[in-house]
Structure 1
């Protein structure tokens, strides 16, 4: 099919069977009861088969035991007449090679053998089933043969036993199974219905809690079951997810509010300048107005560029170690620092000579943006000069884990930007990396910026696999109060970039 505009539109259609239209509780019950029924049916069939085989073996054992006893009497030529037989359901005959009956039990036929001549194989132990009327017993009859006598006078002992008791036992067991099977399945279905319902009750509580959360504003929590099972772990995981979502929404709301506030200020200034110029008419000093409008426009442009950069950084995927997935290359830090320092007058910006070629892996444009933001931030607060320096390699790793085959294990380069300004109190050194954060002495927007510079620095350094922190330029007993601030950027070191690139 085609959507509007002629573009092909493909829709996947799934066939829903009748079982999928039922509720989860019913589906679990149907599957469980069906499996249980099949299992019980197979078990009943196996039980009947095992019972029949056991009873048959019992009958054969009793018949052979009687036949062996009579054969022993025949071997000693001491056959009594009638033959002594234990039990009232056994009949015994002793026949010779011509099919004549030599001896028989008291209730056995003395004229007609139990087996026809074609059924009787002299010298073999046999198990046969014959009709009851031929023997004079009820139901099918089991007949076994036992060789007896001597080679000169071979005899065969025939022992018959009725199978009526065996068939009756099988019938009773079959009837009990046919009656008890549906009752057992029905009882287990009721128990399963209640057990499944009790098991799914925490799931229903989670669903109700989720419906209440989506129906009201503000953070919410899902009920956590007391049992330490999969549902309890699911509830804990969902609550953690809700906390993260709420924190993300709070950050987004704060970011939007701060961005709107920052954008409103230059727009308000521009509008004020234009309204004053319109009221003054010919008395307007247009060069001054143009200069003020240009300054506000540049400030607005920088703010928009920073916001777009942060938005792109937030949208790009990241690896498990927190670094972004992007194309990188070798960067020589000494050359990078010289390029950045050359954009500012000296003094106040001074570059300490690098010890030699120091290579790292990253995006040159992003690393250049990191240094430019740090230098501009230092220039706003420095009293005398700003010093750029790079040293390395150092043995301690910048962050847990290493990326890249050419990177020296645990080695990093240290880039520092130092100023002699008032510094930042130790309690505020983590807070200044948050977006739109300005300390009290940087509240003036004309001097302090929008509070995005250090946030961008941290994101870009993280993408390069490094870290950034703040410290006093001159450590001492009054640490955290100045004078000056040192920004330390740790970047992973490369041994031989030519080998990898």
Structure 2
């Protein structure tokens, strides 16, 4: 049964829930405050009456002890006074009370004198309206003074205050609910604008941004964050579209070459060198295969699917690569730097850097490995023409090749350095190109394994 109200509550709008919660909290606070106010006020009024009764009683006791009591006793502020002798007979009293029947019985008088505390007394049996606050004090010669005062006025005042509070609280709650509804609506208006703005963002309006409120509050931070996210998504979408376009362009060339060679061979089969045709088709097929492998590698890295992490000895990996390609090797003495990563991915990084260096080197390529602080540094240096400083970052973009590389048949698809950067960043490292004077040096830094 409890699940239904909870479900109903969760389905209401945030504006309604904020207003209802604020109104409910204020209702509880007002009810508690009203109860405390009435209780404290009632106690204060009772204490005031008790003080007046006690002061009047002390005055009568003093007058009785001095034999100066008037007959009848003067009534002050409608205070009721009865003076009883040792035998319990009323010897003096105010005009507003009975002179025959004491307000308190002998047992009650004895208890009141002993405790010295006032008490409530029903005045109706004594033809007095409402309840009374009564107190008994002892005087000389066995005289007892009974002093009382009507509590009806205080009771009537408390009832009136209660009625005012009961009638005013709903009006106050209604006013607060209306104000809360308006304030919540104005507070949530920027969120409504964000919602409408987000609904208008679509495939045809990728560059659209959400409205940012002027107030530097949480909604402003939310709108800024969402706009940053839209910017990143737009940038990722642009990269994806560029990747698809460039991939289609790179695939078109070998496929067109294969188609052309096969069409020529089939059109003139009698004069065709089929071995040469097969070699040409095989070369273009290998180019397609390398492109597909590079695209799959980039897709895997973009999804964050790296291989298992294990200690990799960069010095040993560099030594084997140098031996396979016949390259120079620079290894410092001492312990070899070891990083934590996927050995296959790191070997691909080194192979791509070496292949790129060999394509542009004039005579020599060298591999270097050393520890620099808390990172392992892997370098591949060639003595080729190098790359202008303004292009050293651009070559890490996908399908980016400089003009001289595009003119070469073995220039590749422009994915080698993009795979290098993506792989190195997945291992928490950095890669950049610098001038080797002459030539170019690729520098890879990866944190050392702890």
Q: Would you say same fold, with TM above 0.5? A: yes
Q: Does 1:70 align with 2:60?
A: yes
Q: Does 1:31 align with 2:21?
A: yes
Distance 1:244 1:215 in 2: 15
Structure with a larger share of its residues in helix = 2
2:295 to 307, 313, 318: 307
Q: Does 1:485 align with 2:440?
A: yes
Moved more, 199-208 or 358-367: 358-367
The aligned counterpart of 2:403 is: 440
TM-score (norm 2): 0.92
1:120 Cα deviation after fit: 2.0
Q: Does 1:186 align with 2:165?
A: no
TM-score (norm 1): 0.83
1:56-87 Cα offsets, whole Å, 9 max, x none, are 11111111110111122233343332223322
Distance 1:363 1:207 in 2: 44
Give ranges in structure 2 of 5+ residues lacking alignment.
none
1:356 Cα deviation after fit: 4.6
1:267 to 249, 252, 255: 255
2:359 to 380, 400, 404: 380
- Cα pair 1:358 1:493 within 8 Å, conserved: no
1:180-236 Cα offsets, whole Å, 9 max, x none, are 122212222222221111111111111111111137433111111111111111111
Distance 2:351 2:297 in 1: 15
Q: Does 1:351 align with 2:332?
A: no
Distance 1:445 1:205 in 2: 55
Distance 1:15 1:300 in 2: 63
Distance 2:54 2:6 in 1: 62
Moved more, 286-295 or 89-98: 89-98
The aligned counterpart of 2:276 is: 288
Distance 2:317 2:53 in 1: 106
Give ranges in structure 1 of 5+ residues lacking alignment.
1-12, 318-323, 395-409, 475-482, 495-499
- Cα pair 1:333 1:357 within 8 Å, conserved: no
- Cα pair 1:332 1:357 within 8 Å, conserved: no
CA gap 1:36/1:492 in 2 versus in 1, 3 angstroms: closer
- Where 2:135 maps in the other structure, the secondary structure is strand
Q: Does 1:53 align with 2:43?
A: yes
The aligned counterpart of 1:478 is: none
CA gap 1:334/1:17 in 2 versus in 1, 3 angstroms: closer
1:435 Cα deviation after fit: 0.9
Distance 2:203 2:411 in 1: 42
CA gap 1:445/1:34 in 2 versus in 1, 3 angstroms: farther
1:401-421 Cα offsets, whole Å, 9 max, x none, are xxxxxxxxx333433212121
CA gap 1:154/1:340 in 2 versus in 1, 3 angstroms: same
| 1:293-442 equivalence runs, <5 A | 293-316=281-304, 327-344=308-325, 346=326, 349-352=327-330, 354-361=332-339, 362-390=341-369, 392-394=370-372, 410-442=373-405
